[in-house]
Amino acid sequence: MKPNGLRRTKIVFTIGPATDSPEMLEQVIRAGADVCRINMAHAKHDYVREVVARVRAAGEKVGREIATMMDVKGPEIRTGDLATPIELKPGETFDFTVKPSAQGGGEEVRSVDVNYRDLVNDIQVGDTVLVDNGLIRFEVLEKNDAKIRCKVLIPGKLGSRRHINLPGVRINLPALTEKDIGDVKVAVECGIDFIALSFVREPNDIEKLRQLLDDLRSPARIIAKIEDQQAINNLQDIIKCCDALMVARGDLGIECPFEDLPIIQRRAVKTCLTYGKPVIIATHMLESMISSPMPTRAEVSDVSNAVFEQADCVMLSGETTVGKFPLQCVEAFDRISRRIEASGAGGLGVQPQLGSDHAKLLRSAVVMANELRAAGIVVFTRRGFVAQGIAALRPECSPVFAFTNMPVVLRQMRLLRGVEPIFTTFGSDPENTVQKAIQMLVRAGHVVSGDKVVVVSDILASDRLINSIQLRNVE
């Protein structure tokens, strides 16, 4: 068997000023990026239209079309504007006001407005309020219909429009804001492949987005971002409902005890493997490379753990939006992933649930490929589900060559671990389609004469198409 040189773990990068030029996009795609994420916390609609066109043009020039993902902002609670930052002191009493006319208990009590008026209904005395990524911590002392009075536990400098986290508090904000709905409409207009929904708390949040996409007749798939304790409580149901999962470790590490984060990550990956759903590990993976050309040893170990767990994707955020070394970040992901995969990364020993006869057929194909050390598993798919089913079974050594005649499906399969999507046309004769696919693999250098490949395909029998698993020797 010829070493195929394909990396199984996929790379998601977030586009920004550091990567949005045509020249840098070409370099990043050549370096192995698979999915381009657009963060709508910072992007405007005209920018989305421009960068999606640039990504598509760069992929066409490189000869490798990648997927696009829009990450919608979702509901959030923030502080209001301040004329000057407030330097908070330990033990100080401080008010969060939800009504512009609300006054503190005296001039000595400083305060800031909050953009969520129902906060006073959701929060209770004794709850914790975290501000600015958890750097400032408060304890709720009392509340009324206009304000929440707190005690400063961990001081810091409070600036304008800082993000507020409320660990363990159920917030009654809508899953999709008006801004999110407008952003999704632009995503559909641009043909974006994935919508990542922030702060998913329960399956109904996903269903609201799915209904919107159905109404807009969009084939985009939904990535659920888990970012708080409520999502962890509903993790299994969320994974069943979504098309893919993102373990968004930034807010998750604020909302949950930080020592629980590795356990949550492992549980999320195992549950995704059980239900055959792709999973992305995100946030702070190569944070130091925003300003350094080399990762820290701890970051190398962190990325390696995601690869060892057999997550589908690892993701870059600030590293490729505003970082000084975006190309080196993609190259670092590529180097680490290839080395860990070559070491025989064994995953978590999870077997997907196989509820249908077709799923059991796919498992038979993977068992055959594993035992024969096949050079590849060849599948043909119009919607991507056959490739996803085989990828979920995590073949030991055989890449999945997924042939499709649908450009959007080709891009969406970029998210799947171990899947190399290839565009082709399907003929009326299944045998001709199989032969054509194998010839394409030979020309691309993925297989050579004498290799064995396992083919999952239809065959023609008495004027009927039936599912089959075939063993082919490459000539």
Tell me which of 238 and 427 has the higher pLDDT: 238
| C-alpha distances in Å from residue 332, one per residue of 5, 38, 300, 340 | 16, 21, 9, 12
pLDDT value of position 106: 52
pLDDT value of position 56: 98
Least confident window among 55-64, 278-287, 409-418, 422-431:
422-431
pLDDT digits (tens, 9 = 90+) for 123-154: 999 999 999 989 999 999 999 999 999 999 99
Label residue 108 by pLDDT band (50, 70, 90): confident
Considering the entire predicted model, what is its pTM?
0.93
> Is residue 241 a contact partner of residue 272, using CB atoms and an 8 Å limit?
no
pLDDT value of position 349: 72
Determine the average pLDDT of the residues in 70-90: 94
The length of the chain in residues reads: 475
The three-class DSSP label of residue 69 is strand
Q: Give the highest mean pLDDT range of 16-20, 115-119, 425-429.
A: 16-20
pLDDT value of position 100: 67
Q: The domain 10-75+175-342: what is its CATH number? A: 3.20.20.60
Has 283 been annotated as catalytic? yes
Neighbours of 355 (CB within 10 A): 8
Residue in 283, 306, 389, 240 with CA at minimum distance from that of residue 224: 240
Determine the average pLDDT of the residues in 184-191: 98
* Mean pLDDT across the chain: 93
- Alpha-carbon distance 325 to 98, whole Å? 42
pLDDT value of position 107: 57
Has 149 been annotated as catalytic? no
pLDDT digits (tens, 9 = 90+) for 387-402: 999 999 999 999 999 9
What do you get for the CA distance between the two ends of the chain, in Å? 13
pLDDT digits (tens, 9 = 90+) for 257-290: 999 999 999 999 999 999 999 999 999 999 999 9
**Which member of 30, 64, 73, 78 is catalytic?**
78
**Which member of 8, 37, 201, 221 is catalytic?**
37
Residue in 10, 24, 22 with CA at minimum distance from that of residue 320: 24
CATH 2.40.33.10 fits 77-165, yes or no: yes
pLDDT value of position 4: 52
Determine the average pLDDT of the residues in 180-207: 97
Dihedral of alpha carbons 87, 91, 92, 98, sign:
positive
Determine the average pLDDT of the residues in 208-223: 98
Domain spanning 357-473, CATH class: alpha beta
Determine the average pLDDT of the residues in 56-71: 98
pLDDT value of position 428: 83
Residue 99 has pLDDT above 90, yes or no: no
Our separate counts of H helices and E strands in the chain read 16, 22
Label residue 103 by pLDDT band (50, 70, 90): low
In the chain, domain spans = 10-75+175-342, 77-165, 357-473
pLDDT value of position 3: 41
- Alpha-carbon distance 226 to 241, whole Å? 13
**Which member of 56, 147, 225, 394 is catalytic?**
225
- Alpha-carbon distance 91 to 74, whole Å? 33
pLDDT value of position 356: 83
